[in-house]
Structure 1
Amino acid sequence: MKINFDEVNFEEKYKVGNVIKDYDDNLFLVVKSTEEGYALVNLNKNIVTGTYETIEELANKLGDKEDVLVNAEINVL
């Protein structure tokens, strides 16, 4: 896995498909569930957060100004 960290504004971080690193160095993938809304998948611990109806609600509840957008490339063998 190749990881680069980018500084972008708060609203740009929380989009489906983005990978975010939090203050505790956990990596989260922003996902959309077809029935339940939006959630974060913790890539370090293989767990999914609670779901939220909108991406804005997810960002407001779980996001932090110090979160960093990650430019990640994942290769599956």
Structure 2
Amino acid sequence: TSQPIIECWTAGNDIIVEGHWVWAPSSEEMVFSAWAPGKPNQSLNGIDDCAGLFNWQDFQMNDDNCDEPRYFICEQE
């Protein structure tokens, strides 16, 4: 049996400066990140600005288009 695809957004993004990954809303630099091999990469269209966790990549981070509908992860203090 195949697993359902699970894709979740984190608060990581490089919307302001391409290649400079930060956490929203604090703009704190992403010091720890578990990127999937070859990620983040710069897409041909330059719109892969949000970091997500995808089960088909063993929940390693991938950069993708922020407009894609996905679940999201919340932080509770």
Same fold at TM > 0.5: no
Q: TM-score, normalised by structure 2?
A: 0.29
More helix by share: 1
Q: TM-score, normalised by structure 1?
A: 0.29
More strand by share: 1
